[in-house]
Amino acid sequence: MSRSIGDRIRKKLHEAEGYLDLDLPRHSLRILESRTDWPGLQFEACLIKGEALRRLNRFREAIGPLETAASLRPSDSGVALALGWCYKRTNRLAQAIDSLEAARKNHPDNPLLHYNLACYWSLAGNLGRAMDELRSALELEPDLRNRLADEPDFHQLRGNPDFDRLLMDPAPRK
């Protein structure tokens, strides 16, 4: 592939990413669907396409490109979070948990991985694991506490004295 063709491909992908940054996922998809391949940029193209579909609430469609992106960069926490989001919304909670558990091994200090795992474990009914992950998330990012009261995924934790204490305490307890 000549350098000028490669530059044009990169420019188009950059444009698709820009539309996504502007929260215009349909425009982003239009660009991504104008090509069948993105030589040398498959990870980026799959991630952007998956994210565009996710933002359009087309979760089932988003899983394919996100799984491809995950296979190309298994340790990418952003892909894992997006994939978990889509798995959860397509009633594949075990896969959502697996995706985030794997990513957490590579990124133990990522508070969003812990927070989302807390949500998913809560939904799965494993309240002990949910509380452990939630404590970890809050230790890493105390401002996440502001989300707890309105988080519907924690419905099963409400009324649990440990959870209620997290709502009130400025610092999580171990």
Structural domain boundaries of the chain? 1-75
pLDDT for 136 equals 96
pTM: 0.87
Report CA-CA distances (Å) from 41 to 57, 72, 91.
24, 11, 30
Per-residue pLDDT reduced to its tens digit, 28-55? 999 999 988 888 899 999 999 999 999 9
Confidence of residue 6 (pLDDT cuts 50, 70, 90): confident
